């Protein structure tokens, strides 16, 4: 019994020591844990601050990214503008080349114009000389024309006088012709013009002489010859002439 109590006593003291040790260990662990927790809190605070800093940086970077995109867009536009500028430079060089060529052509044309002006002046001088010559010729022509006009007037007066003379001669000849015609168209027996119908119509004898019908019949009642040529004639020879104006040829 005593040994049993001794054993329990050892056991209790061991447990007490173990308990004490556990308490110490627990206390130590708690301190360690508290220290670690404090360290963790500090670390967390630092990390949160760092996170906030990183977020700020991230926002700044995004802002910078937008700015860089805008700047990139602007630079692309600038590049396009530069491309246009290069094209304009190329066009300008082409225009300058064309301008040089046109300048050469212009100089050639100016030279031609100067030559043409000289020719024109020469031609003008020749024309003036020709004009003077023509004026002199015109004066001479006008003088000759005046003389010709005088001659023409004189010739016209002479022709007019001659014309009047011819007209008078024509009137006289026409009157003679009328007389002759009247005489030739007149019955030689009664001295009156014959008719186309009726008792004094135109008739002829075999000899060819013509008379008014009634006059030659009256003549043949007492005579058997033509009253003009005295050739034999009779009533049976009488022939009517169908025409009033008969002009026998003078033989
Ligand atoms: Zn008669
Ligand atoms: Zn006769």
What is the average per-residue pLDDT within 112-129?
94
Write down the pLDDT at residue 211: 93
Look over the chain and give the mean of its residue pLDDT values, rounded to a whole number.
89
- For residue 247, the CA-to-ligand 2 centroid distance in Å is 15
Show which of 184, 202, 220 is a domain's final residue: 184
3-state secondary structure the chain: CHHHHHHHHHHHHHHHHHHHHHHHHHHHHHHHHHHHHHHHHHHHHHHHHHHHHHHHHHHHHHHHHHHHHHHHHHHHHHHHHHHHHHHHHHHHHHHHHHHHHHHHHHHHHHHHHHHHHHHHHHHHHHHHHHHHHHHHHHHHHHHHHHHHHHHHHHHHHHHHHHHHHHHHHHHHHHHHHHHHHHHHCECCCCCCECECCCCCEEEECCCCCEEEHHHHHHHHCCCCECCCCCCECCHHHCEECCCCCCCCCCC
What is the average per-residue pLDDT within 141-158?
93
What is the average per-residue pLDDT within 19-25?
87
Q: Which ligand is nearest to the CA of 185?
A: 1
CB neighbours of residue 218 within 10 Å: 14
Show which of 184, 199, 218 is a domain's final residue: 184
Q: Which ligand is nearest to the CA of 233?
A: 2
- For residue 174, the CA-to-ligand 1 centroid distance in Å is 25
Based on the fold, state whether residues 139 and 168 are members of the same structural domain: yes
Q: Which residues surround ligand 2, an ion (CB under 5 A)?
A: 207, 209, 226, 228-229
pLDDT digits (tens, 9 = 90+) for 155-169: 999 999 999 999 999
- Is 97 a domain residue? yes
**Confidence grade of residue 100 (pLDDT, cut at 50, 70, 90):** very high
Show which of 184, 210, 231 is a domain's final residue: 184
- Is 230 a domain residue? yes
Predicted confidence (pLDDT) at residue 244 exceeds the cutoff of 60: no
* Residue pair 203/213 in contact by the 8 Å Cβ criterion: yes
Number of domains making up the chain: 2
CATH of the domain at 212: 3.30.40.10
Domain that holds residue 153: 68-184
- Is 210 a domain residue? yes
Percent of the chain residues past pLDDT 90, beyond the cut: 67
- For residue 195, the CA-to-ligand 1 centroid distance in Å is 10
- For residue 13, the CA-to-ligand 1 centroid distance in Å is 223
- ipTM exceeding 0.85? yes
Based on the fold, state whether residues 147 and 93 are members of the same structural domain: yes
Write down the pLDDT at residue 26: 86
pLDDT digits (tens, 9 = 90+) for 192-211: 988 888 999 999 999 999 99
**Confidence grade of residue 4 (pLDDT, cut at 50, 70, 90):** low
- For residue 251, the CA-to-ligand 1 centroid distance in Å is 23
- For residue 212, the CA-to-ligand 1 centroid distance in Å is 4
- Is 172 a domain residue? yes
What is the average per-residue pLDDT within 3-20?
76
- For residue 173, the CA-to-ligand 2 centroid distance in Å is 28
Q: Which ligand is nearest to the CA of 223?
A: 2
Q: Which ligand is nearest to the CA of 211?
A: 1
- For residue 179, the CA-to-ligand 1 centroid distance in Å is 17
Q: Which ligand is nearest to the CA of 188?
A: 1
Predicted confidence (pLDDT) at residue 98 exceeds the cutoff of 50: yes
- For residue 221, the CA-to-ligand 2 centroid distance in Å is 16
Based on the fold, state whether residues 157 and 223 are members of the same structural domain: no
Q: Which ligand is nearest to the CA of 203?
A: 1
**Confidence grade of residue 246 (pLDDT, cut at 50, 70, 90):** low
Predicted confidence (pLDDT) at residue 134 exceeds the cutoff of 80: yes
Write down the pLDDT at residue 137: 94
**Confidence grade of residue 251 (pLDDT, cut at 50, 70, 90):** very low
Percent of the chain residues past pLDDT 70, beyond the cut: 94
């Amino acid at each position: 019994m005593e040994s049993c109590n001794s054993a329990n006593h050892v056991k209790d003291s061991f447990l007490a020591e173990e308990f004490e040790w556990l308490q110490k260990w627990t206390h130590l662990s708690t301190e360690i844990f508290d220290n670690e927790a404090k360290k963790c809190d500090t670390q967390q605070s630092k990390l949160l601050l760092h996170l906030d800093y990183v977020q700020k940086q991230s926002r700044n970077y995004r802002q910078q990214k937008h700015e860089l995109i805008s700047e990139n867009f602007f630079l692309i536009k600038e590049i396009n503008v530069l491309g246009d500028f290069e094209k304009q430079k190329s066009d300008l060089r082409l225009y300058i080349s064309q301008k040089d060529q046109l300048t050469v052509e212009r100089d050639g044309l100016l030279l031609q114009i100067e030559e043409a002006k000289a020719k024109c002046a020469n031609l003008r001088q020749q024309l003036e000389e020709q004009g003077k010559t023509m004026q002199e010729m015109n004066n001479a022509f006008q003088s000759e024309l005046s003389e010709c006009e005088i001659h023409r007037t004189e010739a016209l007066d002479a022709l007019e006088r001659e014309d009047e003379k011819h007209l008078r001669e024509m009137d006289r000849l026409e009157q003679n012709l009328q007389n002759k015609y009247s005489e030739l168209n007149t019955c030689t027996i009664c001295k009156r013009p014959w008719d186309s119908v009726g008792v004094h119509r135109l008739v002829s004898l075999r000899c060819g002489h013509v008379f008014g019908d009634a006059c030659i019949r009256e003549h043949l009642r007492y005579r058997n010859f033509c009253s003009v040529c005295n050739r034999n004639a009779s009533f049976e020879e009488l022939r009517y002439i169908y025409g009033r104006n008969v002009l026998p040829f003078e033989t």
